[in-house]
Amino acid sequence: MESSVQPASSSTLYRSRITAIGSYVPERRLTNADLERMVETNDEWIVQRTGIRERRISAPEEYTSHLCIGAVQQLVDRYGAVLEDVDLLIVGTSTPDFAFPATACRIQAHFGMKQTTSFDLSAACAGFVYGLHLANGMIASGLHRKALVIGADALSKIVDYTDRTTCVLFGDGAGAVLLERDESDASSPQFIAYTGGTDGTGGAHIYRSLLADHMEGNPVNANGKLVQNGREVYKFAVQTIPKGVNDLLSQTGLSTDRIDWFVPHSANLRIIDSVCEKMGIPMERTLHTIEKYGNTSAATIPLALEEATREQKLKDGDTVLLFGFGGGLVYGGLLLRWKALSPIA
C-alpha cells in the first residue's frame, strides 16, 4: 500500500490541530481510607501533603494497552474519529505491556490501522507533551498527516505498596488525542511554542530498574518497583517549571495573565500550588485531576484536557499551556491556541 503523504518541500511547513480527545480510567477506586488499612498513613496526612483523595487501579489482567484502547475508543465514539488513515501512533508510557513489542503496536493491531508508524516513547511524566511535540513536528514536515498520541500508565503494577511515601501518590489512566494536518487557516497555528530539557544527573531521584543494578556507579533498588526521592523531585519541579514557562512566554511575547489555562503534570498538589504562586497564575485557571486520579504519570495532562473539554471549560481561541516533567530528569512545555472540538455524542 502506497502512502498518500508526500514529503514537504524545503519551503513548506504544515499546520496541525487536535481534532478529537478521549480518556479512560479503570473502575476500581483506591481511597485514602483503603490505604490506611495497608500502610501506616491516614487521610489527613495524604491530603495535606499531596492533595490526593483517591486513585484508580487497573484490574489484575488490565494493562497499559487496555487503558490506551479505552481512551482511543472514547475518542472514536465521542468525535466520530476515523482511524484507518492514521499514519503515526505514539504512546508515551513508563509501564509498557512488554519491553517489546511496543504498546503502540498493540493499539495498532486492535484498531486495524493499515499504514501506521507505531512506537512507544519513554519520557516518564513528560511523555505526553514530548509525544505531542514530536507528532506536531512530523506533521509540520509533511512526512505524516494524521497522528494518534497517547499518554498512559499503569503505575499500580510497579508501585511498592509497603512504601507509604510512594504508594499514596500513584494511579492508573490514559488520555489520547488525534492530531491532523490543518489547512483551514494558515495564519492561526494551534501549536505556538515549545520548550524542553534534560538533567540526566538527577536520574536516581525517580526511577524503575530493568537490567542495571547501578547508576553512575551507585547501587539502585533492582526489584523493578518505582523508587522516588520526593524532596528532590519537588525541588526540580518548582525550579524548572517557572523557568520553562518563562521561556515559552519570552518566545511569544506573552505574559502570564494571557494564559487562559495552565495544565501542569499532576504530580502533587503542593507542587502545583507552589508553581502557581511563583508564576502568579490563579489556581482557578489551572486544570488538574490530582484529587480523584492521583499521579497517573504520562496520562495526567490528557486526562485534565479531556475533562475540561467535556465540561466545556476550554473555549475557541484560549491560550493553553501544557507542562510535563518527570523521571530523567526531563521536562517539556507546549503553548497552544485552543481550537474548539466538535463532538457527535
Q: Residue 186's pLDDT band (boundaries 50, 70, 90)?
A: low
- Can 15-182 and 191-337 be said to share one CATH topology? yes
Nearest residue to 264 (alpha-carbon basis) of 302, 309, 306? 302
Q: Residue 71's pLDDT band (boundaries 50, 70, 90)?
A: very high
Q: For the chain, what is the mean pLDDT?
A: 92
CATH level 3 topology of 191-337: Peroxisomal Thiolase; Chain A, domain 1 (3.40.47)
Q: Residue 3's pLDDT band (boundaries 50, 70, 90)?
A: very low
pLDDT in tens, 250-261: 999 999 999 999
Whole-number Å distance between alpha carbons of 16 and 306:
18
> Is the pLDDT higher at 301 or at 40?
301
> Are the C-beta atoms of 228 and 166 separated by less than 8 Å?
yes
Whole-number Å distance between alpha carbons of 178 and 156:
27
pTM of the model: 0.93
Mean pLDDT throughout 155-181? 95
Burial of 213 (0-12, 13-18, 19+ CB in 10 A): exposed
Confidence at residue 4, expressed as pLDDT on a 0 to 100 scale: 46
Confidence at residue 222, expressed as pLDDT on a 0 to 100 scale: 84
Q: Residue 19's pLDDT band (boundaries 50, 70, 90)?
A: very high
Confidence at residue 218, expressed as pLDDT on a 0 to 100 scale: 86
Confidence at residue 36, expressed as pLDDT on a 0 to 100 scale: 92
Residue 59 backbone phi and psi in degrees, to 5: -70, 165
> Are the C-beta atoms of 319 and 258 separated by less than 8 Å?
yes
The answer on pLDDT for 99 being more than 50 is yes
Confidence at residue 214, expressed as pLDDT on a 0 to 100 scale: 86
Report domain extents, the chain. 15-182, 191-337
**Class of CATH domain 15-182:** alpha beta
Cα angle 147, 150, 154; round to 5: 160
Any idea which residues carry the catalytic annotation? Answer: 125, 265, 295
Mean pLDDT throughout 68-76? 98
